[in-house]
Amino acid sequence: MAPSSNSSNSLYEFVVRDGNGVKGLVDSGLSEVPERYIQPPEEQINKLESSPCDMQPIDLSKLNGPEHDKVVDEIVGAAETLGFFQVVNHVVPVELLESLKEAAHTFFNLPPGKKAVYRAGVSPSPKVKYGTSFVPEKEKALEWKDYISMVYICDEDALQYWPNQCKEAALEYLKLSSKLVKQLVEILVGKLGVELDDSKIESLLGMKMVNMNYYPECPNPELTVGVGRHSDMGTITVLLQDGIGGLYVKVEEDNDAENGEWLEIPPIPGALVINIGDTLQILSNGKYKSAEHRVRTTSTQSRVSVPVFTVPLASERIGPLPEVVKKDGLARYKEVVWQDYMNNFFGNAHAGKKSLDFVKINSAKLE
Ligand SMILES: O=C(O)CCC(=O)C(=O)O
Ligand SMILES: [Fe+2]
């Protein structure tokens, strides 16, 4: 039953606690967004104030030919500037991308009770979690998004606990994306002039998680956000978006991180979106940019996206690589045990690139 009164408490209980999600709210019939979803004006997304990102997708098949160095430069250049780029001719078959989008719709179209069994605390596995918004208990305004997240332990675990509607596609995608991430990280770390042995790389890429995000159609997209401004905490995120659009990235300005322009990452059939996360910004001592991004909703159609997050092992100590600090003459971030960084990340609502403040040194001087 949808909340009968308009009280914020009953809405919260219906959407968050009982696991109906935003989808349940929309399905109960809704002509305008409830108060609890209205963002403060500075967080609302005005479509007219951004332009499409015109960066051409990077053709990864060319890494194996005479244009190898040029492609490496394109990857490094994008990581140093926007922190976002798209890739085509990658390892993930286009048919698998189509199956993933379908699987996401199939899962979120299940009756609420079938999804709610995966809520935190009742889910058959602590590695599988269905939820809504980001950290609802910390947010003044909730995000217009439901999600299921699946942390990879091993194939048997995935096939036993991940939802039937999406487990095969999600597992295959996670494995292929992991190859892509490793290849990109090796290129980016290599260009820092650092050689990391295989076990160090494996620890930096030690935890992998695939999410399916579902943004139901929204009666007032101009008042809400699908996902608020944030950066991802990991090394590199591989993201599949569908054809709806609405993913925006902020262009960092050297002296004014607060006021950069927003670019929309246009959907390109068959492409994957790649974005640099906080881990790589820290490791590179700020050379690679963890991209601030956010998602707008639309009034006409639901949107799905499927990110694969790759983050260091919880026990790993993460800080700027010593060779880079030596070259730069100073460390811009302090070293942190990755579990502490994650606790801070998931303990706060999305707030742009604030997550990096946790490790920043001399924050006044840096963006
Ligand atoms: O839906 C999208 O396009 C992006 C989602 C996102 O930024 C995230 O899940 O971290
Ligand atoms: Fe993100």
Domains and CATH numbers, the chain: 52-97+172-358 (2.60.120.330)
Measured in Å, residue 110 CA sits from the centre of ligand 2 at 25
Cα-based distances in Å from 30 to 21, 131, 220: 14, 20, 10
Residue of minimum CA distance from atom 2 in ligand 1: 305
**Counting atoms of ligand 1 from 1, which one is nearest the CA of 215?**
1
The helix or strand, by DSSP H or E, that contains position 212, with its residue range, turns out to be strand 207-215
168: Cα separation from own chain's centroid: 21
Question: What's the alpha-carbon Rg for the chain, to the nearest Å?
Answer: 20
Residue among 31, 32, 39, 34 nearest 3 (CA): 34
Digit-by-digit pLDDT tens for the chain (367 residues) are 566 555 778 999 999 999 999 999 999 998 999 999 999 999 999 888 889 999 999 999 999 999 999 999 999 999 999 999 999 999 999 999 999 999 999 999 999 999 999 999 999 999 999 999 988 888 899 999 999 999 999 999 999 999 999 999 999 999 999 999 999 999 999 999 999 999 999 999 999 999 999 999 999 999 999 999 999 999 999 999 999 999 999 998 765 556 689 999 999 999 999 999 999 999 999 999 999 999 999 999 999 999 999 999 999 999 999 999 999 999 999 999 999 999 999 888 888 888 999 999 975 444 4
How much is the pLDDT for 362? 75
From CA 328, how far away is CA 361, in angstroms rounded? 14
Which of 305, 310, 350 is the best mutation target for the ligand 1 pocket, counting ligand atoms within 8 Å of the beta carbon and taking the most? 305
Contact 111, 292 (CB under 8 A): no
**Counting atoms of ligand 1 from 1, which one is nearest the CA of 241?**
3
Residue of minimum CA distance from atom 10 in ligand 1: 232
Which residues have a Cβ under 8 Å from the Cβ of 219 and sit 6 or more positions away?
30, 31, 32, 33, 299
Residues with CB under 6 A from ligand 1: 211, 213, 227, 232, 239, 241, 247, 293, 295, 305, 307
From CA 50, how far away is CA 69, in angstroms rounded? 32
* Statement: the pTM of the whole predicted model exceeds 0.90: yes
**ipTM surpasses cut 0.90:** yes
Residue among 301, 132, 298 nearest 223 (CA): 298
Measured in Å, residue 295 CA sits from the centre of ligand 2 at 9
